[in-house]
Amino acid sequence: MRRHRLSAVLVAVWLGAGACATAPGDGDASLADEGGTAPGLIAPGAGPGVPLVPDLSPGQRPALATDEAGWWMVMDRTESKLKTAGNLVRDEALNRYVKGIVCRLAGPYCPDIRVYLLRVPYFNASMAPNGVMVVWTGLLLRTRNEAQLAAVLGHELGHYLRRHTLHRWRDAKSTTNALIFFQIGAALGGVPVAGQIASLIAMGSITAFSRDQERESDRMGLRLMAEIGYDPRESAKLWQNLIREDEADEDKKTRFIFFSTHPAPEERSETLKRLAEDALKASPAVETGDERFRNIVLPHRQEYLRDELRLRRFSRSEELLKMLLEDGVDAGELHFFRGELYRLRGKKADGDKEGDTDDKDKALAAYAKALDAGGAPPEIHRSMGLIYLKSGQSEKAWAAFAKYLELSPDADDLEIIKSMMQPMG
């Protein structure tokens, strides 16, 4: 998420983005001994061993005079802006598909949830207290089947069903209230430094609470997905894949544990694995929904991969493409984007690494694989042409450009390419 400068904005955004915060430690309650969801029951925070039940009933709206209504109002306004967002994904089939999964997970709460898909190339989804769920396309690129997508959607629903935003707001309010009186007391007692220490502790406790909420949502999401037959083990797999991508990141900029709002990914993945085993003992759920996912989400993958490469975080993207290739679906397309990655990175061979080659050679090798496998877009010939041109092989370049224009005669860059095909001089 983008970082905002000012604390007031930060608080608003942080709450709006369906972040989180309540419930004294949810401990080790296993999924197996939890009953089914009991809509309409109001649960006063789930302690260890206490089953997680929704904190609001279907169709529930807050009374106008409450703090909750205030946040609903703020998010209703944000929602009206979302509806006209330039990067809103309008593809009907895709929207229907994601909303359909949400509906099956949400059961009687389905009419309370609105899903907005936004074209943003990072892995994220968020849940607002008024039922607005936002899913970014960078997430659709990384979930590998319907069950993994359901795992995230179920997690977000967990935030809604447990009214995490409201609890976090109340928590932030009482924390900051206590803090300011402590600061004044400390200052009156002549200890100005104590105030700063307290402020640090308070910040820590706000994020710690939010991690508890994330854990709670993880459990809730896992149960929701298992109840309607999705293989709960897919949830941990998704997190493992994200960890792999994170570890491949040469910049290591993305991990900052203290302020990260989610539990440490390794811990999360381990917990999810354990909870999945428990859930499987209770009821065998094995559906992964591979085929539907392939038919509806994967046709958009080229678009998402283009967005991904524009971020120029090549080490991450390289690992991501490697993982996607493990599934082997539309390998030609994936090899093409591997080629694009190397072409855009344009690194020289690492002399210390045995057998390492220049990126342009890696790119050409990847393009060759792509052509072999089939399914790469026509631009592959343009990309090859550009590499040949750069390395002085004009004849080869022109042949590649000609092939590109033959395959896409209406290309936007038709004139540019034609001009590049004129012999120099």
**Pairwise CA distance, residues 318 & 315, whole Å:** 5
70 binds other proteins (CB under 8 A): yes
3-state secondary structure at position 405: helix
**Pairwise CA distance, residues 19 & 3, whole Å:** 15
Residue of 65, 256, 409, 412 that binds other proteins (CB under 8 A): 65
Interface segment toward other proteins; rule CB under 8 A; list 1-9, 287-295, 328-336, 414-422: 1-9
The distance of closest approach from Cβ of residue 262 to other proteins in the complex, given in angstroms and rounded to an integer, is 23
**CA neighbor of 281 nearest in space, from 243, 226, 324, 239:** 226
418 binds other proteins (CB under 8 A): no
Q: Which is nearer to other proteins, 175 or 315 (CB)?
A: 175
Give the C-alpha distances (Å, rounded to integers) separating 388 from 364, 413, 417, 425.
9, 18, 14, 19
Q: Which is nearer to other proteins, 8 or 424 (CB)?
A: 8
Residue of 35, 84, 92, 409 that binds other proteins (CB under 8 A): 84
Give 31's contacts (C-beta < 8 A, 6+ positions apart). 219, 222, 223, 226, 275, 278, 279, 282
200 binds other proteins (CB under 8 A): no
Centroid of chain to Cα 349: 33
* Contact in structure between 401 and 379 (CB atoms under 8 Å): no
**In the range 174-193, which residues lie near other proteins by CB under 8 A?**
175-181, 184, 187-188
93 binds other proteins (CB under 8 A): no
Residue of 30, 45, 57, 69 that binds other proteins (CB under 8 A): 69
* Contact in structure between 321 and 335 (CB atoms under 8 Å): no
74 binds other proteins (CB under 8 A): yes
**CA neighbor of 127 nearest in space, from 99, 156, 152, 149:** 156
Give 165's contacts (C-beta < 8 A, 6+ positions apart). 15, 18, 19, 20, 71, 127, 128, 129, 159
**CA neighbor of 22 nearest in space, from 153, 168, 193, 121:** 168
**Pairwise CA distance, residues 45 & 25, whole Å:** 9
83 binds other proteins (CB under 8 A): yes
The distance of closest approach from Cβ of residue 109 to other proteins in the complex, given in angstroms and rounded to an integer, is 22
Interface segment toward other proteins; rule CB under 8 A; list 62-70, 93-101, 318-326, 358-366: 62-70
348 binds other proteins (CB under 8 A): no
97 binds other proteins (CB under 8 A): no
The distance of closest approach from Cβ of residue 32 to other proteins in the complex, given in angstroms and rounded to an integer, is 40
**Pairwise CA distance, residues 87 & 116, whole Å:** 10
**CA neighbor of 149 nearest in space, from 115, 182, 189:** 115
253 binds other proteins (CB under 8 A): no
91 binds other proteins (CB under 8 A): no
Count of residues engaged in binding other proteins, rule: CB under 8 A: 32
12 binds other proteins (CB under 8 A): yes
Interface segment toward other proteins; rule CB under 8 A; list 68-76, 254-262, 265-273, 387-395: 68-76
116 binds other proteins (CB under 8 A): no
242 binds other proteins (CB under 8 A): no
**Pairwise CA distance, residues 344 & 302, whole Å:** 16
8 binds other proteins (CB under 8 A): yes
254 binds other proteins (CB under 8 A): no
**In the range 146-175, which residues lie near other proteins by CB under 8 A?**
169, 172-173, 175
How do strand 125-127 and strand 114-118 relate by DSSP bridges?
unpaired
Q: Which is nearer to other proteins, 173 or 418 (CB)?
A: 173
Residue of 20, 46, 71, 268 that binds other proteins (CB under 8 A): 71
Residues making contact with other proteins (CB under 8 A) = 4-6, 8-9, 11-13, 64-65, 67, 69-74, 83-84, 169, 172-173, 175-181, 184, 187-188
